[in-house]
Every structure is written in C-alpha cells, then in structure tokens.
Amino acid sequence: MPNANKMYPRKGDINSIYLKNAITDPAIKVGDFTVYNDFVNDPRNFEKNNVLYHYPINHDRLIIGKYGSIACGAKFIMNGANHAMDSLSTFVFPLFSDDWDMPLQIQDSWENKGDTIVGSDVWIGYEAIILPGVHIGHGAIVGSRAVVAKDVEPFTIVGGVAAKPLKKRFDEKTIDKLLKISWWDWPAEKVQRYLTDITSGNIDALMKNA
C-alpha cells in the first residue's frame, strides 16, 4: 500500500522525497505524494532553498496539490521579493527605516499579489521559476527554466521567459472529464486499484468509477 507519510519513496534514493514530509512552515501546504527531486542540494531543505522571500508579515501561502513532480532547482518567488510600484522609487525605503529616519512600514515596501497555488498532478521542470500570486491548474506542465508570471490553465504546457502556453495536453472534452473525475482526490487505495487505467489513458474506465 502506498505510504505518503515517509520521506524517501524509493529505496536507495536520497535525492527524491515526498515533499510534504519536509515542510515545517505552516504557510506552505503540500499534498500527498508530491515529489521533489534535488541532485544538487539536500531536498529536505526545500523551504530554505526553493521558497524565496517568504516573510511571515505578508501572510502569503504556497499551496501545492497532490501527485506533483517538482524538478531540481525549481524556485517559488514569494511576495517579499516584490517592490512597491506606486512610489516614485522602487527602493525599499520603508524596509530600512532606521537608516532613513522614517516610520517602519514594512508592508509598504512591496506589492502583495496573494497566495501562490499549484494544482494536483502538476509537473514543474528543472530550474523553473514561479512568481508571486500565480495559480497553476491541475495537470499543467511547466517547462525547464520557464519563468511563470501569469496563471496557467489546467492541463496546459507552458514554457519560455516569460512563460507562454505551448499547447494543451488533451482536447477540451478530455480535460473536462479529467477535472470531473479528479482522480488525485481519490483515496490512495482507489488510485492503486485503477492505476493501470490512469497510466494507460483509459478515461472511460475512470469515468465509470469516479
């Protein structure tokens, strides 16, 4: 029976982890069976190395769904990396209030775009960058070294700098069916029961048992 509560899903492989088991920050939520692979750094240091500018004062969250695949070096840039755009200067004067003898107004130093949300069954490629407040739909694929600045629709492949849609993984009818089935929300034992249908693309069998 699959066990989502272990750190290393594969014997002898310390580069791949079930990511949720390495998360300690309550503002980061990761679903069952989402895998992070890192062959450069210890993957257990994901919060430190891959979730950047994530300051508690912003109250922004990183939410990642189930059955995701996150490749080595993928980065999530959070709202603390932004700078104020409605000022005459992008310099963070309020953040360095002691030096400039002004009131401490940390949140005035940057623009807050809200939570970053990644759906289930999403594949994020090598060294891709996800910018603050982006929503990535279920089943999407983010290409290697893409910079994602805008929302990504479900089951859409995006790539480039800035990332643009390249194509849909399936036709709209199939996508609608997959979103209705939402197999990633099934209990693990049910996923295992219908694993052959999932991996072989037998969507009709899934529809009958959704």
Q: What is the DSSP string of 51-94?
A: EES--GGG---EEE-SS-EE-TT-EEE-GGG---SSSS--S-GG
> What is the H or E stretch that residue 30 is in?
strand 28-30
- Catalytic: 83? yes
**Which residue among 59, 83, 135, 138 is the active-site one?**
83
CB burial class (10 A; 0-12, 13-18, 19+) of residue 121? buried
Active site residues: 83
